[in-house]
Amino acid sequence: MSMPDGRLSCTACDYRGFMVFRRITLAYHFADGTTVDAPRDIRWCSDCGNPRDTESSQPALEPLQAELDALKASSATPRYQVKRWFSRLFGLGADDLQKRADELRGQIRLAKARGDECRCLTCAGVHTFPLTFDENGVCTGFQHDCGGHLKLDPPDMDAPRFNYGRETIHLDEAGKRIQ
Ligand SMILES: [Zn+2]
Ligand SMILES: [Zn+2]
């Protein structure tokens, strides 16, 4: 699959930029050897002054913890009904429950380690802002340095499209690239 790159301009200055949709997975490596995968995001980095690949914001802890608690409760009870309820709810067989519990533990650990910080993967800065757009394509996540607003331009259908291979970026538990 290929995607057109997102072209950005500013309503108040002559800034031009691109959002490049590369397929990237982040792998966080904890000091004890545990690895947790997470998706990346594309946000505005105010240190770079451009859209950048960044860490994505962490999911809320409470629902993760609630699911994990419920999973643990289900594996502590031999009752078939509970397991069946789980299979229906999450589409998982009993064998997958352990895997899901491990996944949840990883996500919870990562959410606790990273909090609300979304580091830029280019400069490692933490001043990044969401590239969210309203129905007119105007960015609602932040204001451009000049006081104007960034705008998503209609895709140029004639522009060449690129297929990017899937890439994994390795980070430590502070969200910094491992060299
Ligand atoms: Zn501007
Ligand atoms: Zn940056």
Nearest ligand to residue 11 Cα: 1
pLDDT grade for 97, boundaries at 50, 70 and 90? confident
On the question of pLDDT at 77 being above 70, the answer is no
SS3 state at 17: strand
pLDDT grade for 96, boundaries at 50, 70 and 90? confident
Q: What is the pLDDT of residues 21-74, one digit of tens each?
A: 888 999 999 999 999 999 999 999 999 999 999 999 999 999 999 999 988 887
On the question of pLDDT at 4 being above 80, the answer is no
Nearest ligand to residue 16 Cα: 1
Domain locations along the chain: 1-57+116-179, 59-115
Ligand 1 center–CA 108 separation, angstroms: 38
For tokens 């594996």, the residue is 75
Ligand 2 center–CA 64 separation, angstroms: 30
On the question of pLDDT at 94 being above 70, the answer is no
pLDDT grade for 158, boundaries at 50, 70 and 90? confident
pLDDT grade for 173, boundaries at 50, 70 and 90? very high
Nearest ligand to residue 127 Cα: 2
Whole-number percent of the chain with pLDDT over 70: 84
Ligand 1 center–CA 22 separation, angstroms: 25
On the question of pLDDT at 91 being above 90, the answer is no
